[in-house]
Amino acid sequence: MERTKSTKIKIISLVASLLICFALIGVGVWAAVSQKLTIDNNITITTSGQTKVAVTVSEYINASTDAVSAAPQDEISSSWTEKVTKDAETDTATGSVSPINFNLTEGKNYYAYKFEFTNSSDNMAYAHISASAVNNEQITIYYGETWGATMQALGNNVALDQDVDLAATDGTGEFYIVVASKAPLEELKAVEGPIEFNITVTLDQLA
């Protein structure tokens, strides 16, 4: 009788231990897949004076859960999606691109934006590109006039402020911005509320 009771106690203890283990595993997995870093962003384009510049803003979202340790170099020329446009005769255009959402469920590790400019003015024009400072060590913002390894990394909590020179009469130019996760998505720490990352392009004839 005592042996039977002892065996029952051992079985109950074993089952209880297993349930606790499974509960801990379940909580751990839920936390990992629910962590995320979200950035809401808008793009505003304005023209001042007699400047006549057409602008097209396109985006590309990379499907991967890996960390991004350097400026992306993969060939994506056919994968851009147009999001915001402004013709040469229009003074202002505002549009939203896809919200930047880094989490394991979404599985996107960088968001890229391409700005294409065509100057139809009789004078030299300049595209002044600025973006909000983002204070988060988990991401890196890359930028440059050429896609690939030559893009530079913006420091943490540093606002973007760059110019693109556009020659008179059909002068063209490009600019790229990439917002990337520095860590594998499963290692990201959640943040409270969205982080704003707004991009503004001002077109004028002032260097």
Kindly give the confidence (pLDDT) of every residue in the chain, 207 residues in length, as a single tens digit, with 9 standing for 90 and above.
555 555 554 544 444 443 333 333 333 333 334 455 666 788 898 998 789 999 999 999 999 999 999 999 999 988 999 999 999 999 999 998 999 999 898 899 999 999 999 999 999 999 999 999 999 999 999 999 999 999 999 999 999 999 999 999 999 999 999 999 999 999 999 888 888 889 999 999 988
Burial zone of 136 (CB within 10 Å; 0-12 exposed, 13-18 middle, 19+ buried) = middle
Burial zone of 39 (CB within 10 Å; 0-12 exposed, 13-18 middle, 19+ buried) = buried
Token pair, residue 116, equals 């294409």
Token pair, residue 165, equals 């020179």
Residue 10 CB coordination number (10 Å) = 10
Torsion (CA) 28, 31, 33, 37 in degrees, nearest 10: -150
Token pair, residue 166, equals 């556009």
d(CA 117, CA 119): 7
Contact 198, 131 (CB under 8 A): yes
Question: CA angle 24-25-29, nearest 5°?
Answer: 120
Task: Note the pLDDT of residue 72.
Answer: 97
